[in-house]
Amino acid sequence: MPAVGAALDEALGATTGTAERRAAAVRVLGVANGEARAAIAAEVAARPREAYRAIHDYAWLTDQIVTLTLDAAARWMHPLANPTRS
């Protein structure tokens, strides 16, 4: 999902506050999740005898969304491991 990561970076780079960044992240990741889930559902509908593959696909999608979320949080929302105001 490199394209989603790039879209997420672009959206987060265009924001200034934490609340704006959260909203942008939810928007980008929500669209990506919805599109991917629709594609998986279409594959299941097209090949119902191979629906077992959807288990892998949904798990992979979840892993990707979680990884992108954690990466965005670490790089854009909380860049310091132990933030201080010094």
Distance in angstroms (rounded) separating the CA atoms of residues 75 and 77: 6
Does 54 reside within a domain?
Answer: yes
Distance in angstroms (rounded) separating the CA atoms of residues 76 and 9: 9
Does 86 reside within a domain?
Answer: no
Under the banding of pLDDT at 50, 70 and 90, the label for residue 11 is: very high
**pLDDT score of 17:** 87
Closest by Cα among 21, 9, 5, 17 to 66: 5
Residue 86, pLDDT above cutoff 70: no
Counting the structural domains of the chain, the total is 1
pLDDT digits (tens, 9 = 90+) for 44-80: 999 999 989 999 999 999 999 999 999 999 888 887 7
Contact 44, 58 (CB under 8 A): no
- Tell me the residue type at 54: A
Tokens of 67: 């990884």
| Residues of the domain holding 24 | 2-76
**pLDDT score of 18:** 87
